[in-house]
Amino acid sequence: MLTPIAYGLAIVLVALITFIGLRFLVVPRPAAAGYGVPAKEDGDPAYLTIKGVRDFTYGAIGAALLAFSNAHAVGWYMLAVAIAPLGDTLIVLRHGGTKAAAFGIHFATAVTVLISAALLFAV
């Protein structure tokens, strides 16, 4: 019973981060607003593209691991990847975003990713 839950959560998380990466590449300004720190109209759009490529890459690596590896390898991936939403929490807090966005989106994501890692290690 634990295996489908562990893999199911991992698949959902990988799909979501892939979607977020693509959203930053296709519609960057709305994606940035959803991130918690809206992009400035006259700002450098490079950070939007960097964020999109970063998140899409995390999704692609996660998908490859899910397809071609085992639960422990995916668990280690999830453990390492949890650094990104933890960092995003701090970025949102330090750059004028709301605590609701920082903790309700990014910190909650980090906790969910860590739960996913724990489930995958338990399989």
Could you state, in order of their start, the residue ranges of all structural domains in the chain? 2-122
Q: Is 43's pLDDT higher than 80?
A: no
| Spacing of C-alpha 36 from chain mean position | 14
The DSSP code for 42 is T
Q: State what percent of residues in the chain have pLDDT above 70.
A: 100
3-state DSSP call for residue 2? helix
- Give me the chain's average pLDDT, please: 95
3-class SS shares of the chain: helix, strand, coil, % to 5 = 85, 0, 15
Query: What is the 8-class DSSP label of residue 74?
Result: H
- Show the CA angle centred on residue 102, arms to residues 66 and 24, nearest 5°: 55
